[in-house]
Amino acid sequence: MTKVLVVGAGLAGCEAALALAKNGIEVDLIEMKPQKFTPAHKNPCFAELVCSNSLKSVHKETASGLLKEELKLLGSIVMEAAESTKIPAGDALAVNREQFSQYVTDRIKENQLIRVIQMELTELPARETPCIIATGPLTSAKLCREIEKSFGEENLSFFDAAAPIVTGESLDKSKVFFASRYNKGGADYLNCPMNKEEYEKFYDALINAETVQLPSFEQEELKTFSGCMPIEIMAKKGKDTLRFGPLKPVGITNPVTNAKAYAVVQLRQENKMCSLFNLVGFQTNLKWGEQKRVFSLIPGLCDAEFVRYGVMHRNTFINSPKLLDGYFRCKMNHRRFFAGQITGVEGYLESAVSGLVAGLNLARTIKNLKLVPLPQTTMIGALAAYISDGSTPNFQPMNSNMGILPPLETKIRDKRVKHEKLAERAISALTAWHASLEW
Ligand SMILES: Cc1cc2nc3c(=O)[nH]c(=O)nc-3n(C[C@H](O)[C@H](O)[C@H](O)COP(=O)(O)OP(=O)(O)OC[C@H]3O[C@@H](n4cnc5c(N)ncnc54)[C@H](O)[C@@H]3O)c2cc1C
The response to whether residue 348 sits with its C-beta less than 6 Å from ligand 1 reads: yes
The CATH 3.50.50.60 domain(s) of the chain lie at: 3-161+314-436
Residue 436 Ramachandran class (φ > 0 left, ψ -120 to 50 alpha, else beta): alpha
Q: What distance in angstroms lies between residue 399's CA and the mean position of ligand 1's atoms?
A: 14
Q: What distance in angstroms lies between residue 26's CA and the mean position of ligand 1's atoms?
A: 24
pLDDT at 156 exceeding the cut of 60: yes
Q: What distance in angstroms lies between residue 254's CA and the mean position of ligand 1's atoms?
A: 45
The response to whether residue 143 sits with its C-beta less than 6 Å from ligand 1 reads: yes
pLDDT of res. 224: 57
Closest C-alpha among 247, 336, 335 to residue 298: 247
Say if CB 165 and CB 305 are below 8 A apart.
no
Looking from the CA of residue 36, the nearest atom of ligand 1 is: 47
More confident residue, 270 or 165: 165
The response to whether residue 105 sits with its C-beta less than 6 Å from ligand 1 reads: no
The CATH 2.40.30 domain(s) of the chain lie at: 165-309
What's the mean pLDDT when you consider all of the chain? 94
The response to whether residue 40 sits with its C-beta less than 6 Å from ligand 1 reads: yes
Rounded CA-CA distance 255/269 in Å is 19
CATH topology of domain 165-309: Elongation Factor Tu (Ef-tu); domain 3 (2.40.30)
Per-residue pLDDT band at 372 (split at 50, 70, 90):
very high
Residue 185 Ramachandran class (φ > 0 left, ψ -120 to 50 alpha, else beta): left
50-94 confidence digits (pLDDT tens): 989 999 999 999 999 999 999 999 999 999 999 999 998 888 999
pLDDT of res. 254: 87
Question: In degrees rounded to 5, what are phi and psi of residue 359?
Answer: -60, -45
pLDDT of res. 291: 98
The response to whether residue 418 sits with its C-beta less than 6 Å from ligand 1 reads: no
244-269 confidence digits (pLDDT tens): 999 999 999 888 888 889 999 999 98
Residue nearest to atom 14 of ligand 1 (CA): 347
Rounded CA-CA distance 168/145 in Å is 39
Q: What distance in angstroms lies between residue 136's CA and the mean position of ligand 1's atoms?
A: 4
Mean pLDDT of 336-356: 98
Question: In degrees rounded to 5, what are phi and psi of residue 136?
Answer: 80, -175
Long-range contacts of 297-300 (CB under 8 A, 24+ apart): 297/198, 297/201, 297/202, 297/205, 298/192, 298/194, 298/202, 298/265, 299/172, 299/175, 299/176, 299/192, 299/193, 299/194, 299/198, 300/171, 300/172, 300/173, 300/175, 300/176, 300/190, 300/192
Top mutation candidate among 29, 55, 119, 135 for ligand 1, by most atoms within 8 Å of CB: 135
Rounded CA-CA distance 366/22 in Å is 13
pLDDT at 226 exceeding the cut of 60: no
Question: In degrees rounded to 5, what are phi and psi of residue 239?
Answer: -60, -30
pTM of the model: 0.90
The response to whether residue 397 sits with its C-beta less than 6 Å from ligand 1 reads: no
CATH 3.50.50.60 fits 3-161+314-436, yes or no: yes
pLDDT of res. 222: 67
